[in-house]
Amino acid sequence: MFLVQATTDHILHAAKLFDLYRQFYDQPANAPLAESYIRQRIVNDESTIFLAFEDGAAVGFVQLYPSFCSVDAIRIQILYDLYVKEEFRRKGIARSLMNKAREYSKATGAKRIDLSTGVENKAGQALYEKLGYSRSQDDFIGYALEL
C-alpha cells in the first residue's frame, strides 16, 4: 500500500471512491456529480485529498478542508471525509490515511484537526480515539441552514 496526495491526474480515482463514500451515507450513486465535485476541489485548491493505493488500485481516501478557529485564533483542518473500500478495511489503511492527514496538517501550520462522525460509526470512533482524538465536549449545538 502507498499513499499519494491527489492531483488532477488522480481525479477519476478519487471520484470513484467519493461516489462510494456518498453511497455509504445513503446518497444515490452519481458518478458525474462525484467527478465534478472532486475536480472542483482539486483544480481550485479547495481541499487536500490523500489516496491509498493497493496493487495499483485506489482503495481509500481522506479529504481535508483548511479553515480557522476564531476563538483560539489558529489555523485548523477539517477532516470531512474518510473512506476505505469495504474489502480493504481492517488492514490499517484508514489509520495510515489518518496519520498522513495529521502529518500534512502539522506541516501546513494547522494546530488542530476537527472531525465529526455518525453516532452509529463505532469503528470510526474507535479508530479516532486510538489515534489520540478526544470526543468534543457538549458545549456547542450544531445547526445547519439549507440554502
pLDDT (tens digit, 9 = 90+) per residue, 44-99?
999 999 999 999 999 999 999 999 999 999 999 999 999 999 999 999 999 999 99
Q: Structure pTM?
A: 0.91
Residue 138's pLDDT is what? 61
Q: Domains plus CATH for the chain? A: 2-120 (3.40.630.30)
Indicate the range of 18-32, 71-85, 117-131 predicted with least confidence. 117-131
Helix (H) or strand (E) holding 106: helix 93-107
78 versus 147: the higher-pLDDT residue is: 78
Strand, helix or coil for residue 82: strand
Residue 47 in 3-state DSSP? coil
Looking only at the bridges linking them, the beta strands covering 74-84 and 112-115 are: parallel
Q: Specify the pLDDT at position 55.
A: 93
**Which residue bears the cell 485529498?**
49
